[in-house]
Amino acid sequence: MLNKGDTIGIIALSGDCDREKVEKAKANIEALGFKVKLSKNIFDKNRYLAGSDEDKIKELHRFFEDDEIKLILCARGGYGAIRLINKIDYDIIKANPKPFCGFSDVTALLLMIYKKTGMVTYHGPMACTDFGVNIKEIAPSPLPSPAGRGSIAVIQNFFDTINNKPLKYEGNKIYKDGTAKGILWGGNLSTIVSLCGQDFIPNKDFIFFAEDLNEPVYKIDKMFQQLINIPLFIERCKGIVLGDFLDTDNEVWLEEYFKELANRLNLPIISGFKITHSEEKITLPIGKRAILNRLNLSID
């Protein structure tokens, strides 16, 4: 349970961070009633990376071992997480479980931490991209209900998810009707396929969710095919939840491909969920039980 007054740690594990966005996010989170600790490498820059892999790993271990930090929030995506997955001491994380949240490139860490430790991780907002907005938009008192649009609803939904409130989301299009049960598992599609070659598929039946940005349809096809070629993926995937595939090259082809995918896999496939790189996003707990029933995704 995350309470006002608790400490949130902001850590840079992927691309290099913009100082103004980090400082704005820190101020906004503090305005919500939380304390903030920044990783020591938060403003480091090594080409397109937030400093060295060694410093990132050191800070990740330190944040999990720091009892004051109750939630670890990634600063941003970009690139770099895949470089870390075989250098992490997962025993440290398993011994010090706490919410760990991010999306995009951070998907690699969300899935590997879950696989190696069984700890639920959170596909959701990040510091620079989602908390670095106008403070008047996110810091009313008290915070509103999850209903509504924009940053207030995104942040409220984030805290509701972290605090284990039952959640229900509704899609808007059925490619293949049906009911599916399993843990939630997925994230950014291009990052997920970068894990191929690792032992990363869950040991339980799962509902797969996916989103992406700036990918042509043939690459979306190719990336799904990479996963479909893995026998364990086909064996354990019981349904698919589609988020946004923003700025693709051909919406007609994308629509045709998802229809083809639904017929080919013969699994419930539903789209229209705000799993996205855009501002209006939902938070999903990787590893928690969920039910997909027609247009509805329910999480206990």
Same domain? For 83 and 201 the reply is: no
pLDDT of amino acid 142: 41
3-state helix, strand, coil in the chain (%, to 5): 35, 25, 40
Closest CA to 91 of 109, 120, 65: 65
pLDDT of amino acid 192: 98
CA 144 to each of CA 104, 132, 157, 244, 284: distance values in angstroms, whole numbers, following the listed order: 27, 19, 10, 25, 20
How high is the mean pLDDT of the chain? 93
Token pair in block for residue 298: 């329910």
pTM: 0.94
pLDDT average, residue stretch 172-178: 97
pLDDT of amino acid 279: 87
Last residue of a domain, one of 129, 162, 195: 162
CATH of residue 73: 3.40.50.10740
Same domain? For 100 and 247 the reply is: no
Active-site residue flag, 52: no
Is the per-residue pLDDT at 139 higher than 80?
A: no
Instruction: Give CA–CA dist 168/300, Å, rounded.
Output: 9
Give percent of the chain with pLDDT exceeding 70: 94
pLDDT of amino acid 134: 59
**Sequence letter at residue 254:** L
CATH of residue 264: 3.50.30.60
User: Mind listing the pLDDT tens digit for each residue in 93-135?
Assistant: 999 999 999 999 999 999 999 999 999 999 999 999 999 865 4
User: Mind listing the pLDDT tens digit for each residue in 184-200?
Assistant: 999 999 999 999 999 99
| Residue 70 backbone dihedrals phi, psi, to 5 degrees | -100, -15
Same domain? For 240 and 125 the reply is: no
Same domain? For 194 and 56 the reply is: no
203's enclosing H/E stretch is none
CA 30 to each of CA 40, 173, 195: distance values in angstroms, whole numbers, following the listed order: 19, 39, 35
Q: Which residues, other chains included, contact 50 with Cβ-Cβ below 8 Å and sequence gap of 6+? A: 12, 13, 14, 15, 16, 17, 41, 42, 44, 56, 75, 80
Same domain? For 203 and 98 the reply is: no
Instruction: Give CA–CA dist 34/27, Å, rounded.
Output: 10
Active-site residue flag, 104: yes
Q: Residues 14, 190, 271, 277: which is the catalytic one? A: 277
CA 240 to each of CA 179, 283, 299: distance values in angstroms, whole numbers, following the listed order: 11, 17, 15
Cβ atoms of residues 179 and 264 within 8 Å: no
Residue 210 lies in a domain: yes
Token pair in block for residue 270: 């539903």
What's the structural domain count of the chain? 2
Instruction: Give CA–CA dist 45/32, Å, rounded.
Output: 29
246 alpha-carbon distance from chain centroid: 16
Cis previous bond, 142, omega within 30: yes
Q: Residues 104, 151, 190, 194: which is the catalytic one? A: 104
Cβ atoms of residues 244 and 277 within 8 Å: yes
pLDDT of amino acid 153: 84
Residue 1 lies in a domain: no
Which comes out higher in pLDDT, residue 278 or 136?
278
CA 88 to each of CA 94, 126, 230: distance values in angstroms, whole numbers, following the listed order: 11, 21, 25
Closest CA to 15 of 76, 60, 86: 76
Closest CA to 241 of 158, 161, 180, 156: 180
Q: Residues 14, 211, 215, 271: which is the catalytic one? A: 211
């893995």: which residue's tokens?
230
Domain that holds residue 99: 7-162
Same domain? For 20 and 54 the reply is: yes
| Residue 18 backbone dihedrals phi, psi, to 5 degrees | -85, 125
Under the banding of pLDDT at 50, 70 and 90, the label for residue 151 is confident
